[in-house]
Amino acid sequence: MGKKIRIGVIGTGGISHLHMRPYQSFDDVEVVGACDIVPGKARAFLDQYGLTGAPAFESAAEFVKSVELDGVSICTYNTTHAECTIAALEAGVHVLCEKPMSFTLQQAVDMLRAQRRAGKILTIGFQPRYGYMRRKVDEMIDSGAIGKVYYVQSGGGRRRGIPGGTFISKQNAGYGCLGDIGCYSIDECLHAIHYPKPLTVSAIATNHFGTNPKYWKDAEHFEVDDFSVALVRMEGGVTFVFKQAWAMHANSLGNTLWLGTDGGIEVRNGFDEHNHPSSVILYTDVNGMQVDSQVLPSVGFNAYGYPKDQDNFAAKIRGFVDAVKTGGPDPIPGAEIIRNQAICDGIYRSSMLGKEVEIEIPEI
């Protein structure tokens, strides 16, 4: 076997374990170090996986300069994605950055500029893209089955699903529900139609549950949004209606929907993160007859066939390793996800200003 791919992990909190496990299961990868700003945390993380000889750092900049690395997983909280990603790219290291891409649009722009200068991979961690039914919906839309898509609506949401820890801190997470699960909805809706350019957004991002001790135990520390809605005008005459909630007095904000000139696709109950098929309905018209078809999965539910990683998260890690080995392309390109980030940024700006705002993405 050739040289192993040398991987580092930056940020060794909750999600880093879901990166570490697949990395350790791959014969062609070695994890060669880790970093966390909390003293001792990266050391304990490496030791937990038996990597007692691998160095631990407290500064991402020091880590990427001191250790020979091919790639890093950035698993820090949202507001430090940009600084860690840029440090790695500037050191000539490929990057898999967790979602959301960043907090502000400007940070995402800075990350892409650093990528352009470095000529390295920058992929963003939206693992639901590897889901089998999700890919099938994308393919159906690409096939032209529903004609030209003019309306997209996100669905889902949680009845009671406020997380704790750094997710409710403005300083660490920046966003609340929007950056946690809202960015997934945006990706699900817009990747299927190749991310048309967002032009304007009118939105509200607020909270009604996290700050109420009746519904949330840590209400006095809750600083972010738990509910947001937006109307986004997009290039090509596409309207995108977005909504997301960490908590509400209902089980769902509705179904995900793409309406086209020749048909519609509805995802009922959302895509199941454990790869069980949700209900996907194709609405069409055959010789004037209105036809509703249920789309059934015809093979195993994961688009990647790797023996050890039959789940979307591991498929995302494998996708990054493969891209590092072949030199690209970026599996989930930051250059595309910047439009997701621009919408999140626009939602916050619009909500703060109480009016519709324009979305302008600077030249990279």
CA-closest candidate to residue 95, choices 70, 113, 116: 70
Question: HSE (CB half, 13 Å, CA atoms) of 77?
Answer: 16
Measured CA to CA in angstroms, residue 126 lies from 38, 56, 98 at distances of 26, 27, 8
Please list every residue from 50 through 109 that binds ligand NAD, using CB under 6 A. Answer: 60, 75-78, 80, 83-84, 98-99
**Binding status of residue 165 toward ligand NAD by CB under 6 A:** yes
Instruction: Report the C-alpha gap between 152 and 167 in whole angstroms.
Output: 28
Q: For ligand NAD, which is the closer residue by CB, 83 or 322?
A: 83
Binder of ligand NAD out of 28, 38, 40, 285 (CB under 6 A): 38
Residue 231 token pair: 């109307």
CB of 84 to ligand NAD, least distance (A): 5
**Binding status of residue 6 toward ligand NAD by CB under 6 A:** no
Q: For ligand NAD, which is the closer residue by CB, 11 or 155?
A: 11
Q: Count CB neighbours of 225 within 10 A.
A: 26
Binder of ligand NAD out of 10, 89, 122, 347 (CB under 6 A): 10
Cβ(189)–Cβ(152) under 8 Å?
Answer: yes
CA-closest candidate to residue 107, choices 332, 348, 358, 341: 341
Enter the DSSP assignment of 333: B
Residue 274's SS3 state is: coil
Binder of ligand NAD out of 4, 21, 37, 151 (CB under 6 A): 37
CB of 127 to ligand NAD, least distance (A): 6
**Binding status of residue 12 toward ligand NAD by CB under 6 A:** yes
**Binding status of residue 210 toward ligand NAD by CB under 6 A:** no
Binding site residues, ligand NAD, CB under 6 A: 10-16, 35-38, 41, 60, 75-78, 80, 83-84, 98-99, 125, 127, 165-166, 180
